[in-house]
Amino acid sequence: MPDGAHLCASLRIWAVPAPDRVPTGITTSPCHRSTRTRQCAPCTQPCAWRQCEVGVTCVTVVATPAYEGVPVGDQTSDYIIIGAGSSGSVLARRLLDAGHSVHVIEAGPVDSNPNIHSPQGWPALLLSDNDWKVMTTPQHHAADRSLYWPRGKMLGGSSSMNGMIYIRGHRDDYDAWAAAGNTGWGWDAVLPLFKRSEDHEDGASEFHGSGGPLHVSRLQNLHPASQAFVDAAVALGHPLTEDFNAKMMEGVGFNHATIKDGRRHSAWQAFVAPVLENSALTVTTDALVTRLVLDGARAIGVEYVTAAGTQIARAAAEIIVSAGTIGSPKILQLSGIGARDDLDAAGIERRVELPGVGKNLHDHLLVGNIYATGEPLVPGRNNLLEAQLFAHSSQADDDAPDLQPLFLHLPYPTDGGRVPEQGYTIAPGLVAPRSRGTLRVASADPATAPIVDPNILADDYDVEALADAVIMCRQIGGHDAFAPFRPTEYVPETTPVTRDEIRALIRALAGTYHHQVGTCRMGVDDHAVVDPALRVVGVSGLRVVDASIMPTIPRGNTNAPSIMIGEKASDLILSDI
């Protein structure tokens, strides 16, 4: 029995009051809902508690069975969703709206950290308790450096810690998915799904939706340094674009962002927080999913661990893995679903051989290009990431841009290195990388971090395209538009002159753009992990729904595409019933 628990006789659940875990500003009240019933009348103590932070979030935390002998099925919902991130939140909402019961199981806590909700708070979330703090293996083609990859661990997942930039990618990205056999995933099919989610402040148009759960706003009160970036790029010949999600993606301009009334609008806040009163919803936070329970080749349950111990939840209809590009392949592998060699090396019993699990890992890349300023900049505004540029490198061989340099009005070291006291960053960015890596579990112990090897810069295309981006960004950084800030080049310390020096700089500095995808790749070939309906190949009752299913990464930030994947999954699931 867990510490401090009492047995709620009528419900046969161990009730674990945990007022010490309730963050400041959150009030508690007795149980309104459990996994089985909404009222726990016979209890003399609260057996679950409700957390309500005014204007932010309101969630029921459920106390669940924690003793031997609880039959699988004591906690049964129609659908279990593992992971409350960008895709999982959308799917949860759509399934609830269709009248189904849904149990969301999330490893992280409630989204009560104030830094989640302030648009300028995201740097403070890096390396916090809300971060999985993923570390890669030493990267052979990047000076043997291990890379730090933040990933969101809380309600909202990475949409609760990201930079809030709302970009969908280029239409060619989705048409390429469809051309590879993923019927129903071309641009004309997915554009209505992007629009369905959206409540754009400009209202409905050919490219935008209104009335959807996710608020998308234009940035106001722009920072003078962002304006200088746009002015410099335009002066150097880049076209000005006023909406990267409309007709012309190419060019320089200001971002639109998932910010509502001055606060982050995470996928959780947009899609699930407004329907927390729905009695068909169960949310379990602080619960690490350790494996899927399989009955032959059918997924029937989910094993997870909370402070109360190991629990099992059962799904009457389907289980959906939405644990993100790192979490989803790990859960499959821990369940015996994966490549023979990977499972054997980790000592995991093979249940379903799927060679593609954990393969095809890729990410956009950024290179730190930092300027120190002679005097402090005015404080950061909006999301600290107001402007960017889409452009072609000399390597690009198609219509869509392959570079996405980003302006940050703070010093941002992509190698984790030194920074000036005050400054800004004009970061060369690559969004059509060709290098591919792998992820595999290190052992059968769910608490052990997986072995993550993105193999960055293995393909020369990536190095050469980034070299063009470095040159482009340094030209912009040297433009007179920045003169009022009295900038000096800070990183790199020594100006690279030759192409070889630029290549060396890239290998020394390149880091993540935070957009990892691809480890449970959708497709119709032998290495596909999910089919175009997102069903795990060879296992019934199981889908993967998150950024891990992307066959190739879209050219642009990946939150909006992950939200679209949640929308698409809801159509696929509901049309299957």
Catalytic residues, by residue number, are 515
Q: Can you name the residues that pair with 291 across neighbouring β-strands?
A: 303
At a CB cut-off of 8 Å and minimum separation 6, what does 443 contact? 346, 347
DSSP 253-307: EEPEESEETTEE--HIIIIIGGGTT-TTEEEE-S-EEEEEEEETTEEEEEEEEET
Q: What is the 3-state secondary structure (H, E, C) of 126-157?
A: CCCCCECCEECCCECCCCCECCEECCECCCCH
Q: Which of 15, 31, 62, 165 binds ligand FAD (CB under 6 A)?
A: 165
Count residues binding ligand FAD (CB under 6 A). 40
* Residue 437 touching ligand FAD (CB under 6 A): no
Closest C-alpha to 111, from 36, 165, 51, 63 = 51
Query: Is 67 marked as a binding-site residue?
Result: no
Roughly how many angstroms between the first and final C-alpha of the chain, as a whole number? 39
User: Residue 2: is the preceding peptide bond cis (ω within 30°)?
Assistant: no
Closest C-alpha to 516, from 333, 347, 330, 238 = 330
* Residue 197 touching ligand FAD (CB under 6 A): no
Query: Is 304 marked as a binding-site residue?
Result: no
Choices 93-101, 403-411, 418-426, 552-560; region in contact with ligand FAD by CB under 6 A: 552-560
Closest C-alpha to 290, from 248, 320, 322, 330 = 330
Q: Least distance from C-beta 263 to ligand FAD, angstroms? A: 15
* Residue 366 touching ligand FAD (CB under 6 A): no
* Residue 406 touching ligand FAD (CB under 6 A): no
Q: Which of 17, 65, 119, 150 binds ligand FAD (CB under 6 A)?
A: 150
Alpha-carbon torsion, ordered 155, 158, 164, 169, to 10 deg = -130
Choices 33-41, 101-109, 196-204, 343-351; region in contact with ligand FAD by CB under 6 A: 101-109
Of residues 238-267, those binding ligand FAD (CB under 6 A): none
Closest C-alpha to 555, from 425, 375, 431, 462 = 431
**Residue span 316-335 as binding mask against ligand FAD, x where in contact by CB under 6 A, dash where not:** ------xxx--x---x----
Q: Which of 51, 64, 87, 393 binds ligand FAD (CB under 6 A)?
A: 87
Dist CA 433 CA 440 (whole Å): 21
* Residue 289 touching ligand FAD (CB under 6 A): yes
Choices 60-68, 146-154, 312-320, 501-509; region in contact with ligand FAD by CB under 6 A: 146-154
* Residue 86 touching ligand FAD (CB under 6 A): yes
* Residue 339 touching ligand FAD (CB under 6 A): no
DSSP 79-120: EEEE--SHHHHHHHHHHHHTT--EEEE-SS--S--HHHHSTT
At a CB cut-off of 8 Å and minimum separation 6, what does 261 contact? none
**Residue span 514-543 as binding mask against ligand FAD, x where in contact by CB under 6 A, dash where not:** xx----------------------------
* Residue 510 touching ligand FAD (CB under 6 A): no
* Residue 387 touching ligand FAD (CB under 6 A): no
* Residue 427 touching ligand FAD (CB under 6 A): no
* Residue 306 touching ligand FAD (CB under 6 A): no
Q: Evaluate whether 38 touches 61 at the Cβ level (below 8 Å).
A: no
Q: Can you name the residues that pair with 264 across neighbouring β-strands?
A: 259
Q: Least distance from C-beta 26 to ligand FAD, angstroms? A: 19
Whichever of 86 and 395 has its CB closer to ligand FAD, that residue is 86
* Residue 558 touching ligand FAD (CB under 6 A): yes
**Amino acid identity, residue 444?**
A
- Residues 237-249 as b/e (b if ≥16 CB within 10 A, e otherwise) read ebeebebbbeeeb
Q: Least distance from C-beta 135 to ligand FAD, angstroms? A: 14
Q: Evaluate whether 473 touches 366 at the Cβ level (below 8 Å).
A: no
Q: Least distance from C-beta 562 to ligand FAD, angstroms? A: 4
- Chain residues binding ligand FAD by CB under 6 A are 82-88, 105-108, 150-153, 157-159, 161-165, 167, 288-289, 322-324, 327, 331, 514-515, 546-547, 557-560, 562
Binding site for substrate: what residues are annotated? 513
- Binding site per annotation, positions: 289, 513
Binding residues for FAD: 289
